[in-house]
Amino acid sequence: MSVDKQFQDIIELYSHLPSLGDLPLETLRSAPMPANRTPTPVDAVTDRTITGPGGDLQLRIYRTGAGDTLPLLLFMHGGGFVLGNLDSHDEMARILTANTGCVTVAVDYRLAPEHPFPAAVDDCFAALNWAVANAIELGADASRVAVIGDSAGGNLAAVTALRARDENGPILTGQVLIYPSVNLTAPMLPAPDGRFYILSPETRKFFNGAYLREPAHASLPYVSPALADDLRGLPPTLLITAEYDPLCSQGETLAARLQHAGVATVLTRYDGAIHGFATFPVPMRDQALLQIAEWLKLRYG
């Protein structure tokens, strides 16, 4: 199967962008995402500042649904640990909230290279603990909590779940990892047609170099959760990969390890899809986010 035609305009757009290392960070971070439709409506959106490990930590809280004890979803955006923010993934968070009927807490974690590992990890874990501790105020149920992220956000979601297990943190109902970057030591593999789409080895080298003070840190389990010695006791997992994504194999390797460790794991590969597809305004995004919402609703009960 070839790359799905719905991604052709996006691939064309990205093919004309200069190398990330050739642009100032301010330019990279201000670049617009492919245009979204009118924002998906939710019942309420509130920006909130809490005290995080490194100072002020920005959150965006989305709510849809009746009642005082809605399920709670902690959302971590992608962007290679260097890019992305609450606005870049606003529509994705809105769709998830609207389809799931939950309270979603999106985390504006600190970015590299200004704040290398473990800043983002610490921020996400702090946000999880804050959300659970303040569940009543949020109108959420502290016993129905899941984490979710895409790409680097998928890494942070997986690491947050690991830390919650290791440090007797909140018990999680589930984790959703969307084309996650879970092994920073693994080689980048081209798509079935031999090409790299959206994410190239050069791009990954740029991101890793910004995120890690020491290259040897790449093998740490809180950097590369797929390399953790023990995956037992992690929450039920939905792991989504894309056929034409150079991260596809590492995500599927993690899914196999989770299953071997006795973790209830659903793996779905989206054929013809490219890295980042869940953030692009295309039909396959809506299909994937609907699948995620239905899976979460089953987990939440």
Are the CB atoms for 150 and 178 separated by under 8 Å? Answer: yes
Mean pLDDT across 92-109:
98
pLDDT digits over 241-253, tens only? Answer: 999 999 999 999 9
For residue 36, what pLDDT is reported? 61
For residue 70, what pLDDT is reported? 97
Residue 24: pLDDT band (50, 70, 90) is confident
Of residues 210 and 68, more confidence is placed in 210
Catalytic (active site) residue 245: yes
For residue 94, what pLDDT is reported? 97
**Which of the following is catalytic: 77, 89, 141, 275?**
275
- Residue 59's φ and ψ, nearest 5 degrees, are -125, 155
For residue 196, what pLDDT is reported? 93
Of residues 57 and 31, more confidence is placed in 57
pLDDT digits over 206-238, tens only? Answer: 999 999 999 999 999 999 999 999 999 999 999
Are the CB atoms for 235 and 144 separated by under 8 Å? Answer: no
> Is it the case that residue 259 has pLDDT exceeding 80?
yes
For residue 34, what pLDDT is reported? 63
Q: How far apart (Å, rounded) are the C-alpha atoms in residues 152 and 145?
A: 20
- In this structure, the dihedral spanned by the alpha carbons of residues 204, 210, 215 and 218, taken in order and rounded to 10 degrees, is -60
Domain containing residue 172: CATH number? 3.40.50.1820
Mean pLDDT across 266-281:
97
For residue 33, what pLDDT is reported? 64
Mean pLDDT across 279-296:
97
Q: What rounded mean pLDDT belongs to the chain?
A: 94
> Is it the case that residue 164 has pLDDT exceeding 70?
yes
Q: Which residues pair with 59 in a beta bridge?
A: 48, 107
Are the CB atoms for 83 and 26 separated by under 8 Å? Answer: no
Mean pLDDT across 155-167:
98
Number of domains in the chain: 1
- Peptide bond connecting 18 to the previous residue in cis, omega within 30 degrees of 0: no
Catalytic (active site) residue 219: no
Say which range, 36-45, 171-180, 277-286, 291-300, has the weakest mean pLDDT.
Answer: 36-45
* pTM for the model: 0.96
**Which of the following is catalytic: 122, 151, 181, 224?**
151
DSSP letter string over 248-296?
Answer: HHHHHHHHHHHHHTT--EEEEEEEEEETTGGGSSSHHHHHHHHHHHHHH
For CA atoms 282, 283, 286, 287, give the dihedral sign. negative
Catalytic (active site) residue 143: no
Of residues 21 and 106, more confidence is placed in 106
- Residue 150's φ and ψ, nearest 5 degrees, are -120, 135
**Which of the following is catalytic: 245, 249, 271, 286?**
245
Range of the domain at 75: 5-300
Say which range, 101-105, 106-110, 199-203, 294-298, has the weakest mean pLDDT.
Answer: 199-203
| Helix 283-300 with 90-100: angle, nearest 10 deg | 50
Residue 5's Cβ-count burial label (10 Å; 0-12, 13-18, 19+) is exposed
Say which range, 22-26, 174-178, 220-224, 248-252, has the weakest mean pLDDT.
Answer: 22-26
CA distances from 292 to 79, 96, 238 (A): 20, 8, 8
